[in-house]
Amino acid sequence: MESIFHEKQEGSLCAQHCLNNLLQGEYFSPVELSSIAHQLDEEERMRMAEGGVTSEDYRTFLQQPSGNMDDSGFFSIQVISNALKVWGLELILFNSPEYQRLRIDPINERSFICNYKEHWFTVRKLGKQWFNLNSLLTGPELISDTYLALFLAQLQQEGYSIFVVKGDLPDCEADQLLQMIRVQQMHRPKLIGEELAQLKEQRVQKTDLEQAVEINDGSGVLDEDEEDLQRALALSRQQIDMEDEEADLRRAIQLSMQGSSRNTSQDIPQTSSTQLTSEELRKRREAYFEKQQQQQQDPPGQLSHPCETPTTSPEALGSDLGGMSEEDMLQAAVTMSLETVRNNFITEEKK
């Protein structure tokens, strides 16, 4: 396929593309075709002048634009026909009565030129295979022998004029190569406008996809920021809870130490500012000595009362706090508070 010469559409120069694709090379330019068109215009003017340069028909002819070319790059069938005559080629109308009487099978021809309104394109045989060399396609389109007749019939139904190219076409590399091999086409070429529309749609889809990715990336950043905020709030709440627990622990320890101090002060006989009698003083002194003797007789770590538990002093508490967790410290403080209350109650009963 790469060896096949195929000019793609530029402006309205389809007649130029048609001729060059037929001849398989850059044989004609717009300037050369314009020269042929001007030559045809001059020949027509000379024929009109034969009827008199002062005639109404002649003046009307001069005022009309050229029928062989226009500013867009369109060229008439007469320009194409005259261009092919340079190469000894002739155009015959495919559906004319003269050609139809010949009953020639299309696959036995060498090439066709097709025209609809102002568009021209070539269908040519290269090697042993047929190709649609329409300049509006993105590349040559392979046409099978069985489909060629149907393809031409379809063009006629659509209003195309079809011309058979008679004569020997110039040699070309593609024709020589395809005489030895046959090619296969997996994908049919698209129309240039269709391909441009598809490329535009792909660009739009790509832009939409990129925007969606950017939006997703932005939301991902927001989600990560929100997660960081949630983690920070959770850590803050944990810190507040720990501070509250520490405050509760300190208050419990302070209360237990105050209770222990009160308990100790209650164990020691207080001297009242009121003058005591000798009998009252003697009784209190005996009660104090009895308590001291009983505490010395009890085993270490036990109290005289069966329901009492060892009392932990503030000094012992201070020495043990270093290796205790916050929960253990809180539990110890609560236990100490309970012991203090219990000891106070026992002391009151003894009194």
pLDDT in tens, 320-349: 445 556 566 666 666 766 666 566 666 666
pLDDT of 305 > 70? The answer is no
14-194 under CATH 3.90.70.40, yes or no: yes
How confident is the model at residue 157, as a pLDDT?
A: 94
Higher pLDDT, residue 339 or 74? 74
Asked whether residue 164 carries a pLDDT value surpassing 80, the answer given is yes
Q: So what's the pLDDT on residue 180?
A: 94
Q: Higher confidence at residue 52 or residue 343?
A: 52
Q: 134 or 203: whose pLDDT is higher? A: 134
Q: Which of 75-84, 120-129, 324-333 has the lowest mean pLDDT?
A: 324-333
> Mind telling me the catalytic residues?
14, 119, 134
pLDDT confidence bin for 239, thresholds 50/70/90: low
pLDDT at 30 over 90: yes
Cα atoms in the 13 Å half-sphere on the side-chain side of 45: 13
pLDDT at 60 over 60: yes
pLDDT surpassing 80 at residue 37: yes
Higher pLDDT: 209 or 274? It is 209
pLDDT of residue 261: 47
| Per-residue pLDDT, 268 | 43
Structural domain boundaries of the chain?
14-194
Q: Which of 9-18, 36-45, 214-223 has the lowest mean pLDDT?
A: 214-223
User: Which is more confident, 347 or 91?
Assistant: 91
Residue 48 confidence (pLDDT): 86
Q: Tell me, what's the pLDDT at 229?
A: 72
Q: How confident is the model at residue 310 (pLDDT cuts 50, 70, 90)?
A: very low
Confidence of residue 230 (pLDDT cuts 50, 70, 90): confident
Per-residue pLDDT band at 50 (split at 50, 70, 90): confident
Q: What is the 3-state secondary structure (H, E, C) of the chain?
A: CCCCCCCCCCCCCHHHHHHHHHHCCCCCCHHHHHHHHHHHHHHHHHHHHCCCCCCHHHHHHHHCCCCCECCCCCECHHHHHHHHHCCCCEEEECCCHHHHHHCCCHHHCCEEEEEECCEEEEEEEECCEEEECCCCECCCEEECHHHHHHHHHHHHHCCCEEEEEECCCCCCHHHHHHCCCCCCCCCCCCEHHHHHHHHHHHHHHHHHHHHHHHHHHHHHHHHHHHHHHHHHHHHHHHHHHHHHHHHHHHHHHHHHHHHHHHHHHHHCCCCCCCCCCHHHHHHHHHHHHHHHHHHHHCCCCCCCCCCCCCCCCHHHHHHHHHHCCHHHHHHHHHHHHHHHHHHHHHHHHHC
Q: Which residue has the higher pLDDT, 92 or 326?
A: 92
- 276-290 tens-digit pLDDT: 566 766 676 677 667
